[in-house]
Structure formats: structure tokens, C-alpha cells
Amino acid sequence: MSTTQSPRSDTRARILDVALELFAAQGYEKTSLREIADRLGVTKAALYYHFKTKDEIVRGIVRSMAAPIDEAIAFGEGKPWSPELRDELVRRFAAGMVERAPLLRFFHENQPALRESEAGLEFKDRMVAMIRLVHGPDATFHDRLRATMALFSINSTLFLLKHDDADACSSGTGPKAGTLEEAMGAALEVALEIAARIEPATAEA
């Protein structure tokens, strides 16, 4: 079976790429379908053939770029929970974040417009599913908190990297977070430490 994309799927992929670039640069609300069509060099009618609203485009972006999370969820579902499974899920999540950096920046910078949108709710559902798999059954509040903070510490690294680089460039000094891969490596180390269940010490008689 050939893996060559059809012209229609290739056009959809181009629309998603261009829309994500514009949304990230100037915001979801300030970007119009006309601007997306103009950047692509197509008519608005041609754009409507693939996506009729901006929300449809955002859903397409989420489904396309959130594939690593879906794969991690599929890997963990149905398996008995263990510390080893927890750590593997966190590692897979972190690996997927490198590919999803533009999507994460887009979501954080456009939260007011997306929080209650269908695409935003789909993204939230994915995160909730990942958190539950990481903390496992019979989780205490502390376990749930650790799982949540572990995953969000990975997400936050992308923004720390962005702002550290911006500060260093503007001042000419200051620490740089390094490459995306180096930053994510540090984030994974921290996330695994946060996610680990720490059993309370048993008092000696």
C-alpha cells in the first residue's frame, strides 16, 4: 500500500501548518480565515472546502499534533499500574512534547479563546487521561497532585526555554536553557522525581 499523501490530505496539512503559525504569531482571535487563505495563496472558498471555521482548524491541529499523547494513553491503558509503567508513561509524554512544542505554545498563548472550545476540551480530556494513568488506582490526593505537576512541569519547560532565551538575547547576558532537547531532558528528570510516590516513614516503636 502506498504511503503517499493524497492532494487533499496534503492541502489539509498545509492549512494546519499555516494556521498554527499565524495563530501562534498574532493570536487566535486576531487571525481570520481570509488571512490563512491569503498566506496559502488560495481562495477563501478553497479553504472552506477543507475547514469551514477556525474552530474546525484548531480541532485538526489538536488531533494531528496530539498523536504522541494518544499513543502514550493507548500504551498505558489496560496495563497493571506499577512504578515502572508510571515512569515509562512520563518518558513517552516528554518525548511527545518535543514534537508538540508549537501546539503547547499556541494553547498557552490563546487560553481565553480556547478554554471552552471543542478543541480545548478535547485537549483537556487527553491531559486528564494521562494524569490518571500516571497516578494509577487508589491514588491519594498527593498522588494525583504529583502526577499533575509532573506532566505540567514538562509542558512548562517549553515556556521557560522561550523566556530564558528572550531574556538572554535582550540583555546580552544571563543563563540560556540550551537546546529544546537539553531542556526536555532536564524536565524529564524533574518530572520523574515529582511523580514518584514517597511512602511516609514508619515510626519506630
Model confidence pLDDT, tens digit, residues 83-133: 999 999 999 999 888 777 777 777 777 777 777 778 788 888 999 999 999
pLDDT tens-digit readout, 75-95: 999 999 999 999 999 999 998
Q: 149 pLDDT exceeds 50?
A: yes
Highest mean pLDDT pick, 24-33, 161-170, 196-205: 24-33
DSSP character for 28?
T
Percent of the chain past pLDDT 70, that is, above it, reads 82
Tracing cell 487521561 back to the chain, one arrives at: 129
When pLDDT is averaged across residues 14-33 and rounded to a whole number, the result is 89
173 or 66: whose pLDDT is higher? 66
The confidence score (pLDDT) of residue 164 equals 53
Say if residues 15 and 50 touch (Cβ distance below 8 Å): yes
What is the CATH code for 7-61?
Answer: 1.10.10.60
- Taking every pair of C-alpha atoms in the chain, what is the biggest distance, in angstroms? 79
Rounded Cα distance between 77 and 72, Å, is 9
Per-chain mean pLDDT for the chain: 81
Rounded Cα distance between 9 and 39, Å, is 18
When pLDDT is averaged across residues 175-198 and rounded to a whole number, the result is 81
Q: 167 pLDDT exceeds 50?
A: no
**Continuous H helices in 27-100:** 33-40, 44-50, 54-65, 67-76, 83-99
What confidence tier does 73 reach under pLDDT thresholds 50, 70, 90?
Answer: very high
pLDDT tens-digit readout, 45-66: 999 999 999 989 988 888 877 8
When pLDDT is averaged across residues 29-41 and rounded to a whole number, the result is 93
- The whole-model pTM stands at 0.75
